[in-house]
Amino acid sequence: MPKNNLVAPSILSADRLNLQRDIQAAAAAGADLFHIDIMDGVFVPNLTFGPDFIKSIRQITSVPLDTHLMVQTPENYLNAVVQAGANLVNVHVESTKHIYRVVQKIHELGAQAGIVLNPGTSVASVLPLLEIVDNVLVMTVNPGFGGQEFIDSMTLKIQHLAQLQKEHPSYTYSIEVDGGINNQTIKNCQQAGANIFVAGSYVFGHDLQARINNLKQAIIYEES
C-alpha cells in the first residue's frame, strides 16, 4: 500500500437502501479507499456482506476496495473476494491456523495482503509475518459492530508497529486503524504512526463532504 495518508470510509455505516448514492457521494468527497467488512456471524456476532456485494460496488466506483474478512477460515473466501474486485484483503490472524499460507495466497491472486490485530492480540504474535504483508490493520474497537468508542491504549500498538519499521527497513507495511475514528482520534493515530484511517459512523449519515474534509484537514494539520 502507498504510505501517504488515506481516508477509508466504512461501507458498514452507509445507508443500506441508498448505497450507490452514498458510495458515489463519498468518492466525490475525496474517499481514498472504501472499507468493506465481510462478516460470517461466526468469527464475529454479526452477519453482513459477501463477495457479490464487493462485485456490485466495483461496478459503481473505481476507488480501491479495502476488504476486511471477519470470518472463520478466510482461505475459503479469497478467490471470490479478489475476483469480485478487492484490491487489499485483510485477514484476522486469529481466524485461521495457516495465516502465513493465507497471506501468500492473497499475493498469488494478485491482491495486496493485510493482517488484522484485535484489541487483545499482540504485535509479538505476528512478527514472522511483518516482512511479507502490505498492511497491518489495528482494530481500535472490538470487531463486529460500528459506532463503538475508540480504545485509547491501541495507540501503543500502533507505536510498536511504527518502531519496528524504523528498526527493519524491509518492513514496508502500511498501518491502518479501524474503529472510533473521528477528527480527534485520527490525530492520535497519525501521531502514533498510522497512515490509513477507516471511518464509518463519523462519515455516513452526515454531510459527507464536510466530514471527509474534517478528517483530511486533521491529517494535514498534524503533518504541518
> Per residue in 18-77, pLDDT tens?
999 999 999 999 999 999 999 988 777 677 778 999 999 999 999 999 999 999 999 999
Q: What is the pLDDT of residues 80-115, one digit of tens each?
A: 999 999 999 999 998 999 999 999 999 999 999 999
Q: What is the mean pLDDT of the chain?
A: 92
Q: Compute the distance between CA of residue 190 and CA of residue 221 in angstroms, rounded to an integer.
A: 11
Residues annotated as catalytic (active site), given as ranges: 37, 178
Grid cell for residue 137: 490493520
pLDDT score, position 106: 98
pLDDT number for residue 42 = 79
pTM of the entire predicted model: 0.93
Residue 65 grid cell: 476496495
Please choose, from the candidates 123, 122, 178, the residue with its C-alpha nearest in 3D space to the C-alpha of residue 150: 178
Between the alpha carbon of residue 52 and those of residues 36, 81, 170, the distances in Å are 12, 8, 35
Class of the domain covering 6-223: alpha beta
pLDDT tens readout for residues 160-203: 999 999 999 999 999 999 989 999 999 999 999 999 999 999 99
Q: What is the DSSP string of 44-104?
A: SS-B---HHHHHHHHTT--S-EEEEEESSSGGGTHHHHHHHT-SEEEEEGGG-S-HHHHHH
Q: Strands 34-39 and 6-9: what pairing?
A: unpaired
